[in-house]
Every structure is written in structure tokens, then in C-alpha cells.
Amino acid sequence: MTNVAISQTRTSPNARKAALLSGSFVLLTAGLLASPAAGPLRYGFPALAFLFAFFIFRLSRPFYAGFVVWLWMLAPLVRRIVEYRAGGAASLIIASPFLACAVPALLNLTGLGELLSLEGYPVLFATAGVAYGVGIGLLLHNPLALIATQLAFWIAPLLFAFFVFRFRSQVQEIRASIEKAFVWGTLFMGVYGLYQYLVLAPWDAFWIENAPITSIGFAEPQQMRVFSTMNSPQSLAGFLVAGIFIALRSRSKVKWLAIPFASLSLLLTQSRTSWVGFVFGVVYLIFYLPARQKLQFAVFGVLSVILVLAALQGPQKEVLKARLQTLSSPNEDGSFLARTTGYAVLLPEMLTSPFGAGLGLDPASPDSPISKNGEGLGIGDSAVIAILFSLGIPGALVYITGIGTALLIGFRRKAGTEWTDLLPFRAITVAMAVSALAVDAVAAPGGVVTWLALSICCIDSVAQDRVAIGQPVAASSNERHSPNPRGLPTGSM
């Protein structure tokens, strides 16, 4: 789609209404958080997020995409502030982005049949693998509440990928909206991460003291692993890596602030697996970026190194240096040894229970991967373990077939000059694939990053094939018979 069409989309009446709704949602949430009435957000925020996502989706698909990305980045922070100010648990707030991701599927059930196409097969296979895991969980009588919770984590990334696929005729506008959300969101997360490290807001300190995560550190400034607006350092690192790669290709001048601050916060997460994945993504980009982009990349690298050196002068200087040094000598790293031991203990276990434990596996049960005399791995510690134990070998084969199909489609052609907008998403895919051995890169929120990148790579790659042979880029079935074939938002379903 041409730049003129994209500009028309952004300035259309429906897009302006969607922008107004998004701004209203932010102001309403901020006002309630700052008032004594923060408590109602415990239930009100998820309801508002779903309703606003519903109306924004009807007005503008691209604005909806950006709205959902922001929800993933900010919902955990809203939860912490509500719990600190109003007391009690507010975990339902975390359901907000999950509910928002469900909107396109609920309103486009007839579009599910379109998954029987080249770009749709990855989502179709992955969904079938997850369905198998649900079936096993039900057969083994796993707790229904846990099955539902884990299903939400597995299916939300696929629902968002389905949305991108379903409205693939608008992929450039959707991608532009996602890019804008990531660039500004990366800046916000990077700056807030630095603030968190230096000052530590009381709601963040409260979270560190009460969260069931022992590896964050201490509830003191400069004594913790940064998690910024997210729930954990690993989740933050995944979004920061994606944001940095997307910002590199962005034309927004905001990236000159976003990338250095994000790089510093990425360092302060102390997530070495994400560091390694980031390096692999960088190497991929170096091979394919145009010369001008490589020069910008070098400038960003210098700025980031300056900030990193400044960070290494703080109280965590020795901790950061030690974690960096373990990258060259992993055999001396306790975390690396624990993961290798966990794999050695758990992988043979698959031979005795090849059908898996299903979704809804209780972490406290004897069958849990983390209960093998303390030598196993938690499902959240590895995408490989999550897939094998939750889906079993049959479900894992189907799910991995979906990922493999996406990789074959998305990476089968060299990214030409006119298709270099694909590069950030390919780099994200590379980074998340490398991280999968020690981070859950398939279930939300990491899975959202992975499947978003995979879906855009697949759609653009197929579009590139069609352009190469002189065929028009395919639109979805409803759009083919619409008086608006370019897919510009009209407000109608």
C-alpha cells in the first residue's frame, strides 16, 4: 500500500475517533490511579480494556493493534499501583491484554476458515497443538481454573497473530501502528526502568517483596534486576529486544532516545539469555541492513555503550561484570548449570510420559517439572520444556510444525531493498528462537512478541511472492467484496 493510503488511514475520521478513544482510556486510567478510587480498577480496568478494544477495533484495525501492544506493556504496572494503593490482590488486571486479543476472533468467527491458506497454516497448526494440550489436561483432570489460565497464556499470542493474518490487506498500516507503539513504549519502558533502578517506586518495592519471584533481587534502589513496567526481567527483556529492533528501522526521531535507554534497561534486567538472543539478532541485521542503516546502527551502538559504561560504575558494577563474564565461561555459571541439569533430568522423563501432562499442570503437584527433587525446570524457564510437558510429544510436534512452517514461509526469500521493513521482525524471530532454551518464548507475554514477528514475516513474504509474479496482494474474503478493497477502516464490521 502506498504512503498516501497509509496517510489517509491515519487521518480518516474513524482513525481520529479511535485515537480519541485511546486517549480517553489513558486519561481515565491515570485519573483513577491518582485518586482514592483506584480500587475499582481491580475489576474495572479489564472491563474497560475489553470495551475500548472492541470499539477501537470497529473504528480502526491499525489503532487496535497499537492499543493491544500498549496493554501488554502497561497492564502489569497498573496492577502493581492498584495493589499498592488499594491493597489486596489485583491479578485480574493482567487479563486485560488477553481479553483485548480475543476481540477480533469473537467478531470474525467466519474468518477462521481463512486459516486454510499458506499464511494461515502456522497459526492453525499451533492452535491444534494447544487444543491437544487442553484435551490431555481435561483427561488427566487437571484443575479447570489452571487449564483456563494457561490456555489464555498459550492462545493469546495466536489470537493476535490471527488478527494480523485476518486483516493482512492492511498489514502495512497495522505494522506502522505496532512500530509506533513499540518505539514510544520502548522509550517509556527504558526510562521507567532507569528510574526504577535509581529510585524504586513504592509499588515496585511492594511487588519485589511480595511477588513469587526470588531472582529479582532486593527491594532497594540499585539492588534489583530491572523489570520496568512488566512483571519480570525476562518479560521486559523480550519486549525491549523487540522494541530496539523495530526502532532501528523506524523513521521516528524518538528512536534516538528510545534505543539507548532501552539498551541500558536491557542490561539492567541481567537477563543473559535475552542478551545472547539480542546479539544473534544484531548479527542477522548487520548482514542485511542497507549501508545507511548500518551507519545509524553504529551511532546507536556508541550511545548505548556510553550508557552501559555509566551503568557499570554503580553499586551493581561487580554483579553486572560477573554476569557478563559468565557468557564466556558458562560452565562456571550456576544458572547455566541448573538449566543443563534440569534438561538432563526432564528430557528422559518424556520417554515415560510421551503424551504430556497437559495444560493446567499444577506447579505444586508431584508431576510438575519443578518438583523433581528440586532439579527440574519450571515451565516458565524454557519454551522447550513448556512445549514438551504441556503439549506432550504429539501436541509438541504439531505446534512445532506451525512454528517451522512460519519460519520456512517468512525466511524463504531474501529481504530486498523494498521489503527491508521485514528485517526487524526477522531479527526478533531470531532473538526469540535463541532465547527459547531458557525463556518461555511461546506463551504470553513472550509468545506475543514471537508470534507477532512470525505472522508479519509470513504475510509480507507471501505478499512479496505475489508481487514478484505480478499478482495483486490477496485481501481477506470480506474485503474482496467490499466497496473499500484497500482495507481502509470504515467503522463497519
Backbone phi, then psi, for 159, in 5-degree steps? -65, -40
Closest C-alpha among 218, 217, 240 to residue 228? 240
149 half-sphere exposure, CB direction, 13 A CA radius: 11
pLDDT band of 346, cuts 50, 70, 90? low
What's the pLDDT tens digit per position in 181-214? 999 999 999 999 999 998 999 999 999 988 777 7
> How is residue 350 written as a grid cell?
518424556
Give me 41's grid cell.
480498577
CB 463 within 8 A of CB 473: yes
SS3 217: strand
Please work out, in degrees rounded to the nearest 5, the angle formed at the alpha carbon of residue 178 by the alpha carbons of 296 and 201.
Answer: 85
Percent of the chain clearing pLDDT 90 (strictly above): 43
- Average pLDDT of the residues in 260-280: 89
392 in Cβ contact with 369 (< 8 Å): no
pLDDT band at residue 297 under the 50/70/90 scheme: confident
Q: Taken in order 229, 235, 238, 241, is the CA torsion positive or negative? A: positive
Q: What is the DSSP string of 135-175?
A: HHHHHTT--HHHHHHHHHHHHHHHHHHHHHHHTGGGHHHHH
* CA–CA distance, 56 with 63 (Å, rounded to integer): 7
How high is the pLDDT of residue 485?
37
pTM, 2 dp: 0.86
